[in-house]
C-alpha cells in the first residue's frame, strides 16, 4: 500500500484527488494540506511514500 500526502489549496481539487486515490487499489491518503508550509510537519509525521510536488512555475 502506497501512503500518500496531498497538498492542494483548492478544496474541490483536493477532495477529488483524495477520492480518486482512496478509490484506487494500492493507495491510502495519510494526510492533506493546503500549502507547503502545512505539508512540512505533516510529511515528517506521516512519512508517506509519495508526497508533494509543486506544479507552480515562477
pLDDT category of residue 18 using cuts at 50, 70 and 90: very high
In a domain, 52, yes or no: no
Per-residue pLDDT, 53: 72
Question: Would you tell me how many other CB atoms lie within 10 Å of the CB of residue 31?
Answer: 19
Q: Rounded to two decimals, what is the model's pTM?
A: 0.84
DSSP string, 7-48: E-SSHHHHHHHHHHHHHSTTEEEEEEESSHHHHHHHHHHH--
Write out the residue range of the structural domain in which residue 13 sits.
Answer: 2-46
**Does residue 11 lie in a domain region?**
yes
* Residue 29 placed within a domain: yes
Domain count, the chain: 1
Asked whether residue 56 is domain-assigned, the answer is no
Q: Is residue 55 part of a domain?
A: no
Is position 51 within any domain? Answer: no
Query: How many CB atoms within 10 Å of residue 29?
Result: 20
In a domain, 53, yes or no: no
In a domain? residue 6: yes
**Torsion sign, CA atoms 38, 34, 7, 52:** negative
Amino acid at each position: 500500500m502506497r501512503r500518500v500526502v496531498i497538498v492542494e489549496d483548492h478544496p474541490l481539487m483536493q477532495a477529488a484527488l483524495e477520492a480518486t486515490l482512496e478509490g484506487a487499489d494500492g493507495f491510502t491518503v495519510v494526510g492533506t494540506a493546503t500549502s507547503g508550509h502545512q505539508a512540512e510537519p505533516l510529511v515528517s509525521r506521516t512519512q508517506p511514500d509519495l508526497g508533494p510536488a509543486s506544479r507552480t512555475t515562477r
